[in-house]
């Protein structure tokens, strides 16, 4: 992808990174100005590698690149292997759902409409070199070349059990829960600091779980005719 952009004169590459890059970090909320050098999954390591490759192309070829660290995106038309799909299907079919870390998980759930708004704003804001960038105290979110990293989330962490409760309310059915240990490579919490996106691009997330999950359930029932 980077080679294609380099040779075809792309004016701005916006690519998907992930909240998973924060790995073993525990300072909340996660900030793009903190280092992310301790991934805990291969997926996280691959996303960190994407950021490094993008920065290298910005340095070598002056290709403007912006990486967006997505935080637990949910909503209509999402991937069917994600938790909200799996939970919904299982509950409607009367099957139990697997709840990892015994339910002690927190996530910055971000509704798709807020994600789309953020992506749209970023696309039209081409990064430039930051003249204040200092190699003696390097800021991971900016650079001396046209490179930028943003968190794109709801800036509000919610308990996984609350997420499930709202889904139960929207479906009108209770879930049977299998409480499981945390999976290798997972983290107990994510929480996005979106100050840079708010300050620079007037990003305004704020979709509630009640509204977002309600919209998903409405779409799911219509699409799958259940």
- Catalytic residue set: 43
Instruction: Tell me the C-alpha distance between 215 and 18, whole Å.
Output: 24
What is the helix (H) or strand (E) element at residue 18, kind and residue range? strand 13-18
Q: Which residues pair with 159 in a beta bridge?
A: 106
Task: Evaluate whether 142 touches 64 at the Cβ level (below 8 Å).
Answer: no
Edge-to-edge strands, sheet with 13-18: 13-18, 65-70, 147-152
Exposed/middle/buried for 222, CB within 10 Å: 0-12, 13-18, 19+?
Answer: exposed
Instruction: Tell me the C-alpha distance between 125 and 139, whole Å.
Output: 19
Task: Evaluate whether 25 touches 130 at the Cβ level (below 8 Å).
Answer: no
Instruction: Tell me the C-alpha distance between 220 and 115, whole Å.
Output: 19
Residue among 51, 10, 71, 22 at smallest CA distance from 147: 51
């Amino acid at each position: 992808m980077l080679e294609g952009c380099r040779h075809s004169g792309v004016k701005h590459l916006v690519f998907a990174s992930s909240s998973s890059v924060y790995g073993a970090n525990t300072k909340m909320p996660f900030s793009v100005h903190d280092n992310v050098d301790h991934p805990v999954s291969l997926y996280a390591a691959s996303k960190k590698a994407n950021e490094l490759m993008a920065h290298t192309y910005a340095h070598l070829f002056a290709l403007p690149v912006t990486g967006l660290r997505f935080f637990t995106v949910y909503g209509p038309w999402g991937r069917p292997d994600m938790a909200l799909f799996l939970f919904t299907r299982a509950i409607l079919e009367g099957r139990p759902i697997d709840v990892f870390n015994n339910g002690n998980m927190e996530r910055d759930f971000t509704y798709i409409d807020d994600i789309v708004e953020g992506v749209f704003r970023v696309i039209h804001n081409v990064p430039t070199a930051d003249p204040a960038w200092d190699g003696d105290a390097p800021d991971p979110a900016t650079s001396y070349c046209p490179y930028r990293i943003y968190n794109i989330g709801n800036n509000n962490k919610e308990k996984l059990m609350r997420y499930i409760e709202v889904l139960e309310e929207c479906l009108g059915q209770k879930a049977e829960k299998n409480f499981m240990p945390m999976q290798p490579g997972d983290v107990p919490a994510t929480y996005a600091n979106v100050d840079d996106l708010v300050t620079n691009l007037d990003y305004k997330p704020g979709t509630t779980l009640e509204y977002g999950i309600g919209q998903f359930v409405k779409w799911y029932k219509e699409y799958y005719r259940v």
